[in-house]
Amino acid sequence: MSPIPVLESCIPLPIEERTLVEVTQKAKDWAIMHGAAMRSKANFSPDSLNFAPFILVPSSFPRKEFEKAKHLQTIINQLMHNVAHDEEFLTTTLAETIKVDDFTANLFNVYKKVLANGFGQALSLGLLRSDYLAHMFEDNSIKQVEINTIASSFGGISTQMMPLQSFVMRELGHVDKLKNMPENTALSGICGGMIKAWELYEKPKAVILFVIEDVSYNICDQRFHEFYIREQSPHIHVLRRTLTEIHKEGKLGPNKELFLGEYEVAVIYFRAGYEPAHYPSQDEWDARYMMECSRAIKCPSIHYHLAGTKKVQQALAQPEMLERFISDPEKIKAVGQIFTGLYSLDDSEAGNASYEMALKEPERFVLKPQREGGGNNVYGVDIPDALRKMNRLERAAWILMDLIQPPISKGYMIRPGGKSPPEIVDLVSELGIFGVIIGDVDNIIWNYQAGHMLRTKLSTANEGGVAAGLGALDSPYLLD
């Protein structure tokens, strides 16, 4: 096997020990003081923050691929918008999955009920994040890992990462390198989408509702959004409520307005509702249904949520499928190139063939259920055991995906309670591009690319979720 390529680092490493210890401590304080922080899971207190895990100096990423990902985002926004509005496609694609996956079935059930009752609001707000790994076996060209249509997070904190790492680079005497660190406007881009949706609702007193978990560990990221909206548009109030609270307090008005106490809700921004634990009882499902029926503009609405499932991603990657949603052949080609192999595990001829393929060469694949939030996938050699535990029908809840193999970079991962001085480690980075789209089935009113995030994990780790505690926030150093 050829050795795994290592991307050139932005500055010569290692950093001399005394300088390293000093700059690391400054960077940690910078992070806390600028809200690049989270609540501790181990020592939870609503009154204190830890800095969010971060990479000390920016990790290298190929410039060409970064630009490509940004350029593609408006096409991906439009694609997802069209998918979300294709009832027939969603229904057939998810038909086998919902027979065995209760959570997706519950979401689908909400969708069907809303379809039967009529949508209270034709407009949807999509705040998407398309995630990529560079694939080293194809000249580091990017491959899409997944697309998030609900609770696409870290736009707030990621906006602080380039300033944090620029501070470190200046401290280390590398001002000349700052030009390769792209600015990030994720926070203003995403919040701009919420404000635009609020304006389209045309009720000056209506509020934006953040649907939150019972405990928000990623509080800073959420507050960045809230505080940005409050600062830019002080006339727009932001409420935070759990699904359980919405069930207790929420009511629909005569014209399907969603009321929480005295407040009418213009925009609903879901930062919860994407995993089964967020719905401890039927009450939370009832709350979701009520919101979906309402006139409020949802981010996402239920059909956008379903369009973001892994099963839909798998279906979209099948030959000729993009033609259903995109008319321009150039765009079809460009989007097709970022897909990697995705295979159905339904009980069909093709599904059974992918099952056999996974048993034979498991190290080539990742096995994914219809879940979000990290830590749910099965990798490589663990796949055969996992698959053998399922019957033919149960497999339909999963999809199989080619393993993307990103190039390695070297750097320092700084974590609360980590070693001092930190050690140089092998890292791989996942790029996320945010997109905003607002429209209804016939018209798109806004469609733009809205900044990026980079998160980086140890090259030996399968997953790098920051909220899940494995990855670290980062920003790209663009290599020509």
Q: Which residues contact 14 (CB under 8 A, 6 or more apart)?
A: 20, 424
Contacting ligand ADP (CB under 6 A), which of 377, 409, 459, 475? 377
Active site residues: 129, 146, 148, 153, 310, 368, 372-373, 455
Q: Which is nearer to ligand ADP, 70 or 368 (CB)?
A: 368
Scanning 55-63, 111-119, 218-226, 402-410 for contacts with ligand ADP by CB under 6 A, the matching segment is: 402-410
Could you give the CA distance from residue 316 to residue 319 in angstroms, rounded to a whole number? 8
- By rule CB under 6 A, what count of residues binds ligand ADP? 18
Tell me which of 94, 125, 401, 466 binds ligand ADP, using CB under 6 A: 401
Among Mg ion, ligand ADP, none, partner that 377 touches (CB below 5 to 8 angstroms by kind): ligand ADP
Q: Contact 263/207 with Cβ under 8 angstroms?
A: yes
463 makes contact with ligand ADP (CB under 6 A): yes
Q: Would you say 83 and 312 are in contact if contact means Cβ atoms under 8 Å apart? A: yes
Near ligand ADP by CB under 6 A: residue from 197, 208, 338, 366: 366
Question: For residues 455 and 478, what is the distance between their CA atoms, to the nearest angstrom?
Answer: 15
Paired tokens of 239:
């409420």
Q: How far is CA 252 from CA 106, 116, 257, 279, 356, in A?
A: 21, 17, 5, 20, 50
Measured in degrees and rounded to the nearest 5, phi and psi for residue 2 equal: -75, 150
Block residue for tokens 């980075």: 429
Distances (CA, A) of 386 to 176, 363, 377, 461: 50, 13, 10, 19
- By CB under 6 A, the residues from 165 to 184 that bind ligand ADP are none
Give the C-alpha separation, 79 to 429, whole Å: 25
User: Would you state the structure tokens that stand for residue 108, as one six-digit string?
Assistant: 């689908």
Strands (E), 194-325: 207-212, 238-242, 250-252, 258-260, 263-270, 297-299
CB of 131 to Mg ion, least distance (A): 5
**Considering only CA atoms, which of 138, 148, 146, 147 is closest in space to residue 405?**
138
Q: How far apart are CA 186 and CA 127, in angstroms?
A: 11
Least Å from the CB of residue 54 to ligand ADP: 17
Closest distance to ligand ADP from the beta carbon of 402 (Å): 6
Secondary structure class of 465 (helix, strand, coil): coil
- Cα dihedral 223, 371, 404, 64, rounded to 10, equals -40
Among the listed ranges 88-96, 97-105, 145-153, 470-478, the one in contact with Mg ion (CB under 5 A) is 145-153
Total binding residues for Mg ion by CB under 5 A? 1
Mark the segment that binds ligand ADP (CB under 6 A) among 70-78, 178-186, 323-331, 369-377. 369-377
Query: How far apart are the C-alpha atoms of 296 and 207, rounded to whole Å?
Result: 10
User: Nearest distance from residue 374's CB to Mg ion, in Å?
Assistant: 6
Shortest Cβ contact with Mg ion: which residue? 146
Cα–Cα distance measured from residue 131 to residue 110, given in angstroms and rounded to the nearest whole number: 27
Q: Closest approach of Cβ 326 to ligand ADP, in Å?
A: 22
Q: Is 376 in the site for ligand ADP (CB under 6 A)?
A: yes
Q: Which region, judged by CB under 5 A, interacts with Mg ion, from 26-34, 138-146, 353-361, 445-453?
A: 138-146
Q: How far is the CB of 29 from ligand ADP (least distance, A)?
A: 29
Q: Does 430 bind ligand ADP (CB under 6 A)?
A: yes
CB-based contact 218:234 (threshold 8 Å): no
* Interface residue with ligand ADP, options 464, 472, 478, 479 (CB under 6 A): 464
- x-marked contacts with ligand ADP along 122-161 as a string, rule CB under 6 A: ---------x-x-----------xx---------------
* 346 touches ligand ADP by CB under 6 A: no
Contact pattern from residue 71 through residue 110 relative to ligand ADP, giving x for each residue in contact according to CB under 6 A and a dash for the rest: ----------------------------------------
**Which residues contribute to the site for ligand ADP (CB under 6 A)?**
131, 133, 145-146, 366, 368, 372-374, 376-377, 401-404, 430, 463-464
